[in-house]
Structure 1
Amino acid sequence: MSLKNRDNHNRWRNKTVAFRVSPEEDQQIETFVKLSGLTKQDYITRRLTCKDVVVQGNPRVYKALRDQLAAVLDELRRIKTGGSVNDELLDVIEMIAAIMDGMKEENAYGK
């Protein structure tokens, strides 16, 4: 078997776990995966096993943050004209704030 089927602890990853989500849930998961910089498999596995999702800054994460902040700005402009705030937007803003807070802590410690 290939090395791609092994995890960080050299265990075989040969089990498949599947579940259904709504289109809105799928979009939210995709957004969080992009912002994390992890693969979807690693992100979901970490979340399901209650492990921390540590965002490692790289160009892909930077681009995802930039794109999501642009989308948040568009939503805020829509809300300003009388629209309502949806829970998904609040979740994305919360994740972006957590990432930015983590970046601030890294800079404070000189990492």
Structure 2
Amino acid sequence: MSQKSLDNRGRWRNKTIAFHVSPTEWNGIHERADLSGMSLQNYLIRSTIYQQIVFVGSKKNLDCIQDKMDVIIQELKRIQTAGEADEELLTPLWLIMEILEAAET
């Protein structure tokens, strides 16, 4: 059984993401992870989260983004008087802004 691990913010990493790749893709991913000096897990997490967003979608995608944005706006209004917003709230906000900017171009 694999060992439980915490991320740098003290949260359990207890969710699994799995997908199939070709042998060529597998070799390329592992080579890049090795060259980065990071573990494969950290390389995939950072590559996924911090890469530029390329918008490929439809009105349905934009509607979903707008719904998420409405929730974030409500939460920001709620905490406006409480001071600084939590980074976990701001992260999806930045992601949505990047997606909307990509959709406009």
TM-score between both structures, scaled by the size of structure 1 = 0.45
